[in-house]
Amino acid sequence: MAKMKIKAKEKKGVVKVKAMFTNLMADREQAIKTGVKEEYLRQVTAKINDVIVYEVTMGGFMSENPLLKFKCKGKKGDKIVFTTVDNHGKEETGKKKIK
């Protein structure tokens, strides 16, 4: 359901990563106000070659469809794997080759 957009580009050993996730990020108060179900991403993890390079625990106060940008070390051709967990415990993964 949820979509993930990932971009990863390598330059001199440093990989610039941009990732966007489709999620309402509705917190308790907002969910009551707008009449939707409480829904937010609880955790996002990124791995390259099974090593964690980025990890964040979030609440519902991140913006809607959160956009995360970060830098990490890596090589061209490696795969970056994102895993997200939402507040209902649903897990989703997305992959992208580093350009």
Partner 1 sequence: MENRMDRRKFLGVGLAAFAAIFAPTTDLKAVDFRATKPAAWESEKTKDGIKALYGSAGLKNDEKKLSFKAPKLAENGGSIPITIESSLDLESVAFFQDANPRCLTCVFTVPKDAIIEYDIRVKMRQTAFVTVVGKTRDGQLYSSTKEIDVSIGGCGG
Binding site for partner 1 (CB under 8 A): 14, 25, 27-29, 42-43, 45, 50-59, 61-64, 66-73, 85
Closest CB to partner 1 among residues 69, 99: 69
CB 95 within 8 A of CB 7: no
Residue 45 near residue 54, CB atoms below 8 Å: yes
If the CB atoms of residues 13 and 35 are measured against partner 1, the closer one turns out to be 13
Taking the C-alpha atoms of residue 28 and residue 9, their distance in angstroms, rounded to an integer, is 36
Asked whether the beta carbons of 26 and 41 are under 8 A apart, the reply is no
* CB closer to partner 1 out of 62 and 80: 62
Kindly state the smallest distance separating residue 97's Cβ from partner 1, in Å.
Answer: 20
